[in-house]
């Protein structure tokens, strides 16, 4: 189950307190269950995969083609469809639903979401330029980004040049985020720290790609309490 991902909605941020008095800022995600729409076999497509459906949508908002897809599968309409490659398709059946229980034994996850859009921004704000001196003689060039093109050769502006433009509103992945706790009853996932995106932003949550060996906050707390109980041999 670690090969698939869930889609959640960013509710906002809050904090969690531990017995030791430590405060941890957390981001709260509302994660609804995903339904298996289609199981793709290697004989048909050349690879093994699972197609999952997320979110609810009215039938009136679907195209005729998508209405036919859901009618053929005999399942309720889903807002988004995403495909994940898996090693073994025997664990998945059409109609099965997966929720936060897939993260039961997982401590760290990766998230993918869109950053907050800032609109059209200048070069200083967008690329963290220092700007020119704010003294006499600079002549209204305090926040200018300087020359951009070339002379006769090659006589153009290269792609990727750091200039003013649309800032934010880009997909960004954040890795190795610790799961503080999960609320299965209310379908809430509490993740340590901040996550890119505004309120109600769509966030994809998946098991961490990297193998993380570091201790979680709860494990550190347990280790500290255990250390207090056991007497120090050196003092004797």
pLDDT at 82: 94
pLDDT profile of the chain (236 residues), mean per 10: 88 91 94 93 92 92 93 91 92 91 92 96 94 86 87 88 95 95 94 94 94 87 84 58
Tens digit of pLDDT for each residue in 33-69? 999 999 999 998 899 999 999 999 998 999 999 999 9
pTM confidence score? 0.85
Q: Residue 20: which residues within 8 A CB-CB, separation 6 or more?
A: 221, 224
pLDDT at 6: 95
pLDDT at 91: 87
Q: Whose CA is closest to 190, among 17, 4, 30, 7?
A: 30
Tens digit of pLDDT for each residue in 66-101? 999 999 989 899 999 999 999 988 889 999 999 999
pLDDT at 152: 84
The answer to whether residues 73 and 94 touch, using CB atoms and an 8 Å cutoff, is yes
pLDDT at 139: 86
- Lookup: tokens for 33: 């269950």
H-helix or E-strand spanning residue 220: helix 217-229
pLDDT at 155: 86
């Amino acid at each position: 189950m670690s090969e698939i991902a869930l889609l959640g909605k960013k509710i906002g941020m809050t904090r969690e307190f531990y017995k030791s008095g430590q405060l941890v800022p957390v981001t709260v995600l509302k994660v609804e269950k995903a339904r298996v729409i289609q199981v793709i076999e290697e004989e048909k497509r050349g690879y093994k995969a699972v197609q999952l459906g997320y979110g609810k949508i009215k039938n009136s908002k679907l195209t005729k083609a998508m209405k036919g897809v859901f009618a053929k599968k005999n399942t309720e309409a889903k807002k988004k469809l995403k495909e994940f490659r898996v090693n073994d398709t025997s664990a998945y059946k059409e109609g099965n639903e997966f929720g936060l229980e897939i993260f039961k034994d997982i401590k760290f996850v990766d998230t993918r979401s869109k950053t907050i859009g800032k609109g059209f921004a200048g070069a200083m704000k967008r690329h963290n330029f220092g700007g020119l001196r704010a003294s006499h003689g600079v002549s209204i060039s305090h926040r200018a980004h300087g020359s951009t093109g070339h002379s006769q050769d090659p006589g153009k502006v290269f792609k990727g040049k750091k200039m003013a433009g649309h800032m934010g509103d880009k997909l960004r992945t954040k890795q190795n985020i610790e799961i503080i706790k999960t609320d299965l009853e209310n379908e809430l996932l509490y993740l340590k720290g901040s996550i890119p995106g505004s309120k109600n932003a769509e966030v994809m949550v998946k098991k961490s790609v990297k193998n993380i060996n570091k201790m979680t906050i709860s494990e550190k707390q347990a280790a500290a309490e255990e250390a207090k109980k056991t007497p120090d041999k050196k003092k004797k």
